[in-house]
Structures are given as structure tokens and as C-alpha cells.
């Protein structure tokens, strides 16, 4: 009986981890409770914090790196090819990026995009 309970608990933990991973990949885990912040305010948040930015993608840098800009400044955003293929923004289109702050030691923060959408 103990073995059955342990196996059931292990299977439950695996299923829960998988569902959480799928939710994160879809951008569902940051939800609407995260407020929209400016590029200037990103510096106030810790590494791994979830944020929503609204502005425009100014230009492509390299691979999956883009410069995102709002009225307060610019920041580098990493947008994977899968996320780029989900929308087609033209120059000066406003976009909303839900993402995670990625901060390496002694460097400027960047944003790892979880979800990108065009807004009016």
C-alpha cells in the first residue's frame, strides 16, 4: 500500500510539472495580474520577474534578439522563432510583450519573451 501511494504521488508530481511547463510556454502563467511596466522601470525588478511591456519593436539585432522601445527607453528582447511566426508586426506597430526579466551579473537586463501580440 505504501508503494502504491508513493508511485501515485510521483505520477501526480510529474503530471503537475508537465502542465505547469505547458502553461509557461503558452504565456499563461504570468496572467493579467502582472502590470504593464515601462522599459525604465524594468531595472527595479529582480531577475526572473514577469513583466508586460507595451511599445514597438524598433529593429532586429541578431538571431532571436530585437530592440524593443517605449516612450522611456529601449531594451533587448529575445523572441524565439516560434513566437515570431505567431504574429506579423510591421514597423511602428504597437506590440505587447509578456516576458521574464533575464539579468546577467553586471549587465543590463533583457527580456525573454513568453508571448508577443499586436495591439491597437
What does the pLDDT look like over 61-106, one tens digit per residue? 888 899 999 999 999 999 988 777 666 766 678 899 999 999 887 7
- Co-location of 61 and 106 in the same domain: yes
pLDDT of 20 higher than 60: no
**Distance (Å, rounded) from C-alpha 61 to C-alpha 113?**
15
User: What percentage of the chain carries pLDDT values higher than 90?
Assistant: 39
- Co-location of 11 and 70 in the same domain: no
- Co-location of 16 and 47 in the same domain: no
How many folded domains does the chain comprise?
A: 2
Report the alpha-carbon angle 20-3-22, nearest 5. 10
* Residue range(s) defining the domain that contains residue 9: 1-30
Residue 40, number of CB atoms within 10 A of its CB:
12
0.85 cut: is pTM over it?
A: no
Amino acid at each position: 500500500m505504501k508503494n502504491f501511494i508513493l508511485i501515485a504521488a510521483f505520477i501526480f508530481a510529474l503530471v503537475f510539472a508537465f502542465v505547469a511547463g505547458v502553461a509557461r510556454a503558452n504565456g499563461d502563467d504570468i496572467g493579467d495580474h502582472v502590470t504593464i511596466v515601462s522599459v525604465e522601470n524594468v531595472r527595479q525588478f529582480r531577475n526572473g520577474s514577469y513583466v508586460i511591456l507595451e511599445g514597438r519593436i524598433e529593429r532586429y539585432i541578431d538571431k532571436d534578439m530585437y530592440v524593443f522601445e517605449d516612450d522611456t527607453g529601449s531594451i533587448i528582447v529575445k523572441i524565439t522563432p516560434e513566437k515570431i511566426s505567431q504574429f506579423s508586426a510591421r514597423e511602428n506597430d504597437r506590440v505587447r510583450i509578456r516576458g521574464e526579466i533575464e539579468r546577467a551579473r553586471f549587465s543590463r537586463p533583457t527580456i525573454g519573451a513568453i508571448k508577443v501580440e499586436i495591439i491597437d
